[in-house]
Structure 1
C-alpha cells in the first residue's frame, strides 16, 4: 500500500534532506511542499495526505495553525509528524495530538520509528488488511482474521471461515500493518485478541474461541429443520513464546483505563 505525504517547512535544506531520507521508503509518495502557514493549509486541503511532516515554526508563524484551521474539514485528519529544533514544542504537540516528534537534524533510526508508528495508527483507523498477490489486491477484514502463522518468508492468514490466505510477506511486515487489537505471541504467531479466551501462563499457551458461520447438524436436525441447528464452535490452542510471555501478560492480563 502507498501512503501520501506532504512537507511543510520553510527551511529549504532541511526539506531536501528529509525528502532524500524518504526516498528509501518506496511506499511513501510526496504530494507537495509548502513553506508558509497559508500555503500549508491550502496544500493540506487540496492533497488530503495520509501524513504531514510539519515544522513547528514557519516564517515567524506557528505551524500548529495549520492543524487548527485545516483539520476541522476532515472526517479523518492526516497524521502529523512534527519536525522541530529542540523540545520546546513538545507540550503543544501533545495538545494537538501530534503522532511523533522528530528533532533536527533527523536521524534515520528516528524516521523509521516515526513511520512505523504512523503505519500502526493508520491501520487502526481502517477496518481491513490489504494484501497484494499475483492477481490483485485482496481485502481481508480485521474481524475475519483469527491468527497469522509464519512460514519462512511466507505468512498464512487464518480466517474464521476456515479459509487460509497465503502471502509472500514476513510476520514482521504483516505486524506493522495491523492495529493494536492484534498481538504477537510467538516468533511464528500473531493472534486477534478479540478471540482470546484462556491464557495459561504456566503451560505458556493461549486458547482462541470463535463460532463460525457454519451450522452444526445434530441428530434432531436431521429429522426436521428447526432451532436444533447451531453454529459450529471452534477452540484452538497456540503456544506463547518465552520472550513474548511478558508482553502477552501486559496486553491481556493488565487492566488499563483509557
Structure 2
C-alpha cells in the first residue's frame, strides 16, 4: 500500500481529492490531510508518507516552503496547482510532476504511473529540490533536470550542444560528447529551453546557438557545430541561421 498525504488550503478539495484517490487508486491510502504547511510537516514526520500531493499557492505561503523544514527528503512529491505559469515552468525544469486543478482523472493516473516508474536516489532527489527552490526565486534558469532510465540528471543548460528527435524520445548531446536519452519528444524539450539560446533549425534538431561554428551550403544547408556534427537546416530557418552567423 502506498501511503500518501494531501496538503491544500481548500478543505473541499481535500475531501474531493481523497475520494477520487479512494475510488480510482485503491493502492494509494490517504493517511493524512493538512490545510497549511505546519500541519503538513507534523503529519509527514509522524506517518512518513511515500507520496505527498502538495498545493503550490496556500494563503500566505507556498508549497515550496515545505522543504525548508527537512534536511533530507524521504518522500516524493506531486504538485497540485492552478494555472500559475511561472511555478509550472520551475517545476518542469526541476523534473517534478504536477497536475492542474480541476484535477482530470486521466492526467492524475498518468502522473501516478510516472511516479511509480521513477527510481530516484535520495541524494539526487534532494538536489532536484534545491534546484526547484532556486528556480522559483529566479526568472532565468541555469540548470535543468532530465528523467533518465538511471534517475534524475541535473544539467547545466549551457552544456547542452543539441537535441535530436528519436521517435518518441529525445537524445540530448552534451559538451564532452555525453548523450542522454530522454523519454520526451523534442517539442517538449524545446518548450523548456530558452529560445534566445536554442533554435529549432529542423523538425528533428534543436541546436544551441553558442556551439555553431559555421554554415555550409551543401545538401541544401547545414550547420557545422564545434563538435564536428553536421545538422540539417530547414528552408524557413535558413535565413535566420545565416544572419546569426554573420553577426557573430
TM-score relative to the length of structure 1: 0.46
TM-score relative to the length of structure 2: 0.47
The answer to which structure has the higher helix fraction is: 2
Answer with 1 or 2: which has the greater Rg: 1
